[in-house]
Amino acid sequence: MQTYKYRAIAQDGTTINGVIEAYDEFEAVNEIRKSYAVVESITPLDKKRRINIDINEPLWVSNKTLSLTANQFFIMLKAGLSMSRTIELIADQCDDKLMRRYLRASAQDVAAGYSLSNSLEKNGKKIPAVFIETVRAGEESGTLEQSFQSLEVYYSRADKMQKKVRSALTYPILVLLIAVVVIGIVMVVLVPRMTETLQSFGTDLPLITRILIAISDFFVDFWWLVLLIIGALALAIYLFGRTERGRMLYSKLRFKIPVIGKITRFNAAAQTANTLSTLLAAGLPVTRALEIVSRVVDSRCVGKELNEAIVKLEGGMSLGEALKDSLYLPSMLIEMITVGESSGMLEDTLRTIGLYYGEEATAASDKALSLLEPIITIILGVVVGFIVIAIYVPIFSMSSGVAGSY
């Protein structure tokens, strides 16, 4: 519920200032008009913001939390509990502080007679649109339990995929970070000391050693410039990526990068099929479901194509026909959509093809990650080999010269 401050004029012409609690401005105005003739102004009152920030509160609602929450809703509603009591119980059991706060706020609204989807939309700023719209579709079609069951499956798969990728990337990234730190210490600390020793002999140093010394001197003298350039470049990339043009450009580039492009295409196909299947199973019409998918799909390019397909659907085309000229979705996905529409089994077809492309994306990711470790090892081997050779070549040369003089 939201608190509003208002100024109204009573029947006798006096000005009244007051506050009222309501779900939204429309309800607040209607309630005020029951007592006063004219509502002059109404403004929402922001709740006092806490200065202290809870660092333990998550920045977003995780797929695991969404899956667990959907499963709890399915079980409790199937057992016959009322919606308001169900929300209270789930909120009390929820370990995620962000989701718990959203649910407690929604429990008050639902107890006052409002729908769960509208309450989550108002209170749950970081709850995905797919979750909220699927709940809304379930409420409208009377299949809320099935909607929560579909959401549990959907977010459970997403959580497993996310954990698998994160686990596979942890080791290569850790190795790379350690290698960068070690090489940085060698270039900034070890090489300058070796340089002083080598130059004290007064002999001409080999080209490879002079190159190493020049690189080391640059990092010692201009390390701040290197960090500044990297920081400025990262900031420029980030800011450009926040623009519509930047998002679209980065999205297109991901499809064109070798190996990454294949994974991106499979992920986009899996996400489109799985999300569309979940929304259609909840009872949403195809145009509404497609509009939601276009907003939540990770690829901006695919989102734009899906959004353009809505116009074609409204013009009388089938979904398969509307997506026929897609540049980013696999042709097999579109063909299977056409088959699903023809057979009247679009939801099941999308669920099957979504599972297929999810497995293909996982396999392609595993293959790419398996190649990442040896590639990193080879690159580090070349760098370390260059440093070792540059240091030891002059030492061997001087040793040979000393031995020859005897």
| Other beta carbons within 10 Å of 157 | 17
Tell whether 185 and 122 lie within a shared domain.
Answer: no
pLDDT value at 228 more than 90? yes
For residue 51, what pLDDT is reported?
Answer: 36
Closest CA to 84 of 55, 109, 57: 109
Tell me which of 157, 192, 211 is where a domain ends.
157
For the chain, helix, strand, coil in percent to 5 are: 75, 5, 20
Tell whether 138 and 23 lie within a shared domain.
Answer: no
Tell whether 282 and 184 lie within a shared domain.
Answer: yes
- Give residue 14's domain range: 2-44
Is 58 among the domain residues? Answer: no
Task: Report the number of distinct structural domains present in the chain.
Answer: 3
CB 337 within 8 A of CB 321: no
Tell whether 92 and 128 lie within a shared domain.
Answer: yes
CB 273 within 8 A of CB 353: yes
Helix axes 300-314, 286-296, angle to 10 degrees: 160
**For residue 212, what is the domain's CATH number?**
1.20.81.30
Tell me which of 87, 122, 157 is where a domain ends.
157
Share of the chain above pLDDT 70, in %: 91
Phi, psi of 105 (to 5 degrees): -65, -40
Is 164 among the domain residues? Answer: no
Is 390 among the domain residues? Answer: yes
pLDDT value at 62 more than 80? yes
Instruction: State the pLDDT confidence band at 53, using cuts at 50, 70 and 90.
Output: very low
- Give the DSSP H/E element, type plus range, for residue 17: strand 15-22
pLDDT value at 342 more than 50? yes
Enumerate helices (H) and strands (E) in the chain, giving the number of each. 16, 3
Is 189 among the domain residues? Answer: yes
Question: Tens digit of pLDDT for each residue in 308-333?
Answer: 999 998 888 889 999 988 899 999 99
Question: Once rounded to an integer, what is the mean pLDDT over residues 5-28?
Answer: 73
Is 52 among the domain residues? Answer: no
Which amino acid appears at position 259 of this protein?
Answer: V
Closest CA to 20 of 48, 44, 40: 44
DSSP-assigned states of every residue in 344-381: T-HHHHHHHHHHHHHHHHHHHHHHHHHHHHHHHHHHHH
Tell whether 178 and 240 lie within a shared domain.
Answer: yes
| C-alpha to C-alpha distance for 179 and 273, rounded to whole angstroms | 40
pLDDT value at 13 more than 50? yes
Instruction: State the pLDDT confidence band at 339, using cuts at 50, 70 and 90.
Output: very high
For residue 66, what pLDDT is reported?
Answer: 92
pLDDT value at 77 more than 50? yes
Tell whether 150 and 296 lie within a shared domain.
Answer: no
For residue 233, what pLDDT is reported?
Answer: 94
Question: Once rounded to an integer, what is the mean pLDDT over residues 367-383?
Answer: 84
pLDDT value at 271 more than 90? no
| Other beta carbons within 10 Å of 182 | 12
Q: CB within 8 A of 369, min separation 6: which ones? A: 165, 168, 169, 172
Instruction: State the pLDDT confidence band at 90, using cuts at 50, 70 and 90.
Output: very high
Distances, alpha carbon 9 to alpha carbons 4, 6, 17, 25, 219, in Å: 16, 10, 9, 18, 73
For residue 48, what pLDDT is reported?
Answer: 44
Query: Is 46 in a helix, a strand, or coil?
Result: coil
Tell whether 139 and 13 lie within a shared domain.
Answer: no
Tell whether 143 and 278 lie within a shared domain.
Answer: no
Tell whether 360 and 254 lie within a shared domain.
Answer: yes
Strand partners, 39: 8
CA quadruple 350, 356, 360, 365: dihedral sign: positive
Distances, alpha carbon 251 to alpha carbons 217, 239, 368, in Å: 39, 15, 19
Output 294 or 15, whichever has higher pLDDT. 294
| C-alpha to C-alpha distance for 83 and 117, rounded to whole angstroms | 12
pLDDT value at 406 more than 60? no
Tell me which of 110, 129, 157 is where a domain ends.
157
pLDDT value at 54 more than 60? no
Strand partners, 3: 21
- Strand-pair category, 2-9 with 15-22: antiparallel
Tell whether 227 and 153 lie within a shared domain.
Answer: no
For residue 216, what pLDDT is reported?
Answer: 86
For residue 232, what pLDDT is reported?
Answer: 96
| C-alpha to C-alpha distance for 10 and 16, rounded to whole angstroms | 7
- Strand-pair category, 15-22 with 38-44: unpaired
Tell whether 19 and 107 lie within a shared domain.
Answer: no
| C-alpha to C-alpha distance for 360 and 355, rounded to whole angstroms | 9
For residue 50, what pLDDT is reported?
Answer: 41
